[in-house]
Amino acid sequence: NAGVMQNPRHLVRRRGQEARLRCSPMKGHSHVYWYRQLPEEGLKFMVYLQKENIIDESGMPKERFSAEFPKEGPSILRIQQVVRGDSAAYFCASSPSGTGGNTIYFGEGSWLTVV
Amino acid sequence: KQEVTQIPAALSVPEGENLVLNCSFTDSAIYNLQWFRQDPGKGLTSLLLIQSSQREQTSGRLNASLDKSSGRSTLYIAASQPGDSATYLCAVRPDGSSNTGKLIFGQGTTLQVKP
């Protein structure tokens, strides 16, 4: 059973470009979460999605960031017009359901560098 | 607002020592608490999950305790080994967010076990 798969693992973008980060949850998991780890900071919750639904996006920056989890395919975190401050590790996590005491499983992360 | 603090920020011990990592949280209304391990440049590996109704969980050389009323958790590592060197993260799932999966993370304790 493969774990949470994220790609790309490393991504370099110039300021103003778009970054797309993909996440395939563990098999059987229908709940996906995105977290961001800025340099020298802890992990911060960004967004929680189920298939075709955004459940909680309270941690998402108001502009330039969007997330989706379509019926088919991976979840996508999209950052438009990237700036240097977007450089961070972006972690995806999944769980079988959002309720109950389920362990949340994390992927290996996508490291975004904006130059 | 829930805040999670981990002390110490860094710890260096000789191999074989037993050690304790501390985690405190400001709001005792939590659903559960999870300890993770993060190796440099890698994702998070879940170590132990303690439900709010539980007092402790054990896995191998690891034991995590939870005192919800005082807002504290400890991770005890017995007979430490160089392979235990990593950053250990504590995360709480606040009450009311049981169906959103939102975790609040501490800054982590970076452990170095010297051979």
**Sign (positive or negative) of CA dihedral B37, B30, B5, A114:** positive
Eight-state DSSP code of residue B53: T
Listing DSSP states for A46-88 in one string gives EEEEETTEEEE-TTS-SSSEEEE--SSS-EEEEE-S--GGG-E
Give chain B's contact residues with A (Cβ, < 8 Å): 4, 31-32, 34, 36, 41-46, 49, 51, 89, 91, 97-108
Where residue B88 falls among pLDDT bands split at 50, 70, 90? very high
In this structure, are residues B28 and B49 in contact, taking their beta carbons and an 8 Å threshold? no
Judged against a pLDDT cut of 90, whether residue A99 lies above it is answered with no
Tokens of A20: 């797309």
Contacts of A72 (CB under 8 A, 6+ apart): none
Question: How confident is the model over A25-43, as a mean pLDDT?
Answer: 90
**Sign (positive or negative) of CA dihedral A71, A58, A107, B48:** negative
Does the distance separating the beta carbons of A101 and B106 come in below 8 Å? Answer: no
Interface test with B, best of A21, A94, A99, A104 (most B CBs within 10 A): A104
Chain B residues with CB inside 8 Å of A4's CB? 43
The CA distance from A4 to B43, in Å, is: 10
Q: What are the pLDDT digits (tens) for B8-61?
A: 999 999 999 999 999 999 999 998 999 999 998 888 999 999 999 999 999 999
Does the distance separating the beta carbons of B104 and A48 come in below 8 Å? Answer: no
Judged against a pLDDT cut of 60, whether residue A1 lies above it is answered with no
In this structure, are residues B22 and B77 in contact, taking their beta carbons and an 8 Å threshold? no
Does the distance separating the beta carbons of A42 and B100 come in below 8 Å? Answer: no
Structure confidence at residue A40 (pLDDT): 77
As a whole number of Å, the CA-based R_g of chain A is 13
Judged against a pLDDT cut of 80, whether residue B101 lies above it is answered with no
Judged against a pLDDT cut of 70, whether residue B72 lies above it is answered with yes
